Amino acid sequence: MTMRYSFMAVLLGTAAISPVAHAMPADEPAAPVADPAVEAEDAQSGGIVVTARRRAENVQDVPVAISVVDSATLDAQGTYNISNLTKLQPTLQFYSQNPRNTFINIRGIGAPFGLTNDGFEQGVGIYIDDVYYNRIASATLDFVDVDQIVTLRGPQGTLYGKNTTAGAINITTRAPSFELEGKAEVSLGNLNFKQGKASISGPLTDNLAARVSVTSTDRRGTIYNTQTGQYIQSQDSIGLRSSLLYKPSDSFALTLSGDWNLQDPICCAFQFGGYGPTQRAANRQYPALVAAQQAQFPGLLPANADPYDRTTDVDAQLRARNEHGGLSARAVWNLDDRNTVTSITAWRYWDWKPANDRDYTIYPVYTKVENPTRQNQYTQEFRFNHEGEGFNLAVGLFGFHQKIRTSGNQSTGLAASKWLLNPTNALSNNPAVLNNVVAINDIRLDNTSVAAFAKLNWNLTDRFVVSPGIRLNYDKKDGLYDSVVTGTASNGTRQVVSADPTSASYNDPWTAAQRGVQASQNYAPQVSAWNLSYDLNLRYEVTNDINAYATYARSFKTAGLNLNGVPADSSGAAIPLYFQIKPEKVDHFEIGIKTQFWDRRATFNLTGFYTRIKDFQASVSNGQGTTVRGYLANADRVSSKGIEADFSIRPSDRFSAYVSGAYTDAKFDRFCDAPPPPELAGGTALPGVAGDKCAYVGTPSAPGTPGGASPPVYDASGAPLPGVSKWAFSWGGEVNQPSTLFGEDGQFYLGYDASYRSRWSSNPSPSIYTWVDGYSLHNFRAGFRTGKFDVFGWVRNAFDQNYIDLYLAGTGGNTGLIAAQVGDPRTYGGTIKFNF
């Protein structure tokens, strides 16, 4: 706590130097070496300069599939966080049950779907001003004074690091400027939407400049909780960013930055999404369980039967307080015209304080589900860039250390006995048996990583460039999972609920019933390994405006640890086989062409890709006991292949348009021991075959047969990966007309943006109950702008499309209850922006 508030004092002290700001990013030496001739040519032709390969280049010259969104586009379309960014980029997928349970995928790969675990890492790297954000939860902030967002698709392990098997998102904020400038923006809308942004930047001395930026967003929730009388799924966030640029000469620049972000909405819960019969006994499925609760809670019935009613009735406390921030120092030293040294030092923290309702019902089954988490992260990167005759080279070192401490607390309530115990057990009629069964979890991870990397761009001819790269990583993880479960024994005393048959309370009937729901477990897994990533890019400049390229990349995602509990043996001990998850091994192939024509007023880019992953880190479940315990395991092989196309046109200053599309075929090539989907789970388990993880004896019952026979594993080979649509598109345009308003010369304009995605699976193993139907969303804006101000109205999801963000199956013990997360309804409002 002391460190955090000391940091806040430093940040606010920096903010007090100069009022709140906006800036241009050109006052800092390029990091690494830039080619002024290239930048001048790009500026004249309307080209976009990016540093995707740690050097300044025209985006059309980079032999990688890239999407670039600038600040003007983000502001115009109301894209103020990564979640909204998916509407602009068809191959980017984002799912969030709450900030901790957040997943970002590219082309269908990146993170295990539907499971949070401190011991695994994402496959999409998030970077803000060259600082790596290891936890996606700490990157769910609202964008603060962003200049550009670059999404690199496909493995980026050479330059961006170990856990970028699917790609990287590189966010650049505006740098301090040596000219006074500022910006302020206010937006108001329905659902009591209020958003304010402000920034100011300017010189403090001849060689010192400052920038301070702030953003705040508040919106009433979209779901009404009939139990508490509150609207949930609200938005409530504030972000502050401050930076100082010290530039004593043209060859050296030091930027000190600090940021603090707080999200504290009334969030997060799902709604009733439907009932899908499982193979549990009929008296243990959702309709029978609701009926059984009437004996204890007469007249208390679930109120909502349609997710689009936008109501819920969860009874437990909800909270999603997400605080994060950090400090960084970025030094860039141009030794001469050919050599540049860059150092980036950063510390970040993340403080997560949640409260959830795990059963998603009106009944007090689970009364408290909390996993407060604290993270401290330290990173250091050194880079050296050299511009030679016919080649350029980037080499570097990277160090990373992370500490995560999670202190979980879960307790059951008066409805738990009837909901979680088999009705054939007489104890299911006694609410006291499972009431106040408490699990206190101590989860720890110490994660250290070091790496050395190099990337060469070698011009074999004036038009042919060969770019090999290599990165060597060492990773070490030390974990702890210690769950102590206590409950009331039949004699009225509190006892540890142990899975050890030698424990004193093991044979107590109440403790035995509690053990079937959850038992204590303790283990301390470790893993360490060396891994090598390498790639080869080939680029051929067919003409000045046509570039063809091909890429092969070998990448990996770090080995993981299961830190949410694992299956136990007959003595109740955690099985070491499940402690570790093997690293993913990735082979990636890509070919593409980037073109500009019509005097560079039109751009068309086309990419074909094929990614093959061995030992894919996937979500599975063991089906033990009353509840389904999820953990991570390795699927043998998965693949993602497809085609992406981007087209944009600007025939004149009066009109512009774009369309992007992707076909993605992402599937399990071989995963014969996947978890059965809900309709095949919960019944009498068929016996497995010793020595063959994929074989079992007998024939499963038809899907959704109550009391049927369930397979111990499910062959998902050939099934689609969760979370990805085969088809996805985004398109839009803007038209404007010069005019005068209130004596100010400017433009009236009308803009339109839309997105579409086809249906997709929302369960780790495809289920007949959790396919999300395809949908399209349409946004409009219209206004008047000048060089000084911009006033416009907007409407998002203009046709009030009903759509689902996420389905969850197996909630509350595989009862057949399907929970749904519903997307935002139509929203509308207005925005006023001023700048100087």
pLDDT band at 5 (very low <50, low <70, confident <90, very high): very low
The DSSP letter of residue 230 is E
- pLDDT tens digit string along 435-461? 999 999 999 999 999 999 999 999 999
SS3 84: helix
pLDDT at 46 over 50: no
pLDDT band at 9 (very low <50, low <70, confident <90, very high): very low
- What is residue 33's predicted lDDT score, i.e. its pLDDT? 35
Kindly state the tokens that stand for 100. 């901790």
Q: How many CB atoms lie within 10 A of CB 120?
A: 25
> What value does the mean pLDDT take over residues 789-814?
90
CA distance 269 to 628: 19
CA distance 656 to 734: 5
pLDDT band at 582 (very low <50, low <70, confident <90, very high): very high
CA distance 240 to 20: 9
CA distance 551 to 534: 11
pLDDT band at 77 (very low <50, low <70, confident <90, very high): confident
User: Which of the two residues, 240 and 16, has the higher pLDDT score?
Assistant: 240
pLDDT at 34 over 70: no
- What is residue 573's predicted lDDT score, i.e. its pLDDT? 86
- pLDDT tens digit string along 738-771? 999 888 999 999 999 999 999 999 988 899 999 9
pLDDT at 18 over 50: no
Full DSSP string of 621-654 = E---SSSPPEEEEEEEEEEEEEEEEEEEEEEETT
In this predicted structure, which of 95-104, 254-263, 385-394, 487-496 has the lowest mean pLDDT?
A: 95-104
User: Which of the two residues, 304 and 484, has the higher pLDDT score?
Assistant: 484
- pLDDT tens digit string along 288-326? 999 999 989 998 999 778 999 999 999 999 999 999 999
pLDDT at 798 over 60: yes
Question: What percentage of the chain reaches a pLDDT higher than 70?
Answer: 92
pLDDT at 43 over 60: no
- 445, 404 in Cβ contact below 8 A? yes
- Indicate the pairing of strand 311-312 with strand 223-225: parallel
- What is residue 2's predicted lDDT score, i.e. its pLDDT? 39
In this predicted structure, which of 284-288, 491-495, 631-635 has the lowest mean pLDDT?
A: 631-635
User: Which of the two residues, 57 and 268, has the higher pLDDT score?
Assistant: 268
Query: What is the end-to-end Cα distance of the chain in Å, rounded?
Result: 39
Query: Sign of the C-alpha dihedral, residues 642, 760, 86, 533?
Result: negative
Of 634, 508, 509, 619, nearest in space to 559 by CA: 634
Question: What percentage of the chain reaches a pLDDT higher than 90?
Answer: 70
- What is residue 95's predicted lDDT score, i.e. its pLDDT? 84
When the pLDDT of each residue in the chain is averaged and rounded to a whole number, the result is 89
CA distance 364 to 360: 10
- What is residue 235's predicted lDDT score, i.e. its pLDDT? 94
- What is residue 47's predicted lDDT score, i.e. its pLDDT? 62
Of 817, 768, 810, nearest in space to 288 by CA: 817
pLDDT at 803 over 90: yes
pLDDT at 785 over 70: yes
- pLDDT tens digit string along 406-430? 998 999 999 999 999 999 999 999 9
> What value does the mean pLDDT take over residues 593-621?
93
- What is residue 706's predicted lDDT score, i.e. its pLDDT? 94
pLDDT band at 629 (very low <50, low <70, confident <90, very high): low
- pLDDT tens digit string along 314-365? 999 999 999 999 999 999 999 999 999 999 999 999 999 999 998 889 999 9
User: Which of the two residues, 614 and 88, has the higher pLDDT score?
Assistant: 614
> What value does the mean pLDDT take over residues 567-577?
85
> What value does the mean pLDDT take over residues 465-480?
96
pLDDT band at 97 (very low <50, low <70, confident <90, very high): confident
- 287, 305 in Cβ contact below 8 A? no
> What value does the mean pLDDT take over residues 16-33?
34
Mind listing the domains of the chain with CATH numbers?
A: 2-835 (2.40.170.20)
In this predicted structure, which of 37-41, 209-213, 566-570 has the lowest mean pLDDT?
A: 37-41
- What is residue 351's predicted lDDT score, i.e. its pLDDT? 95
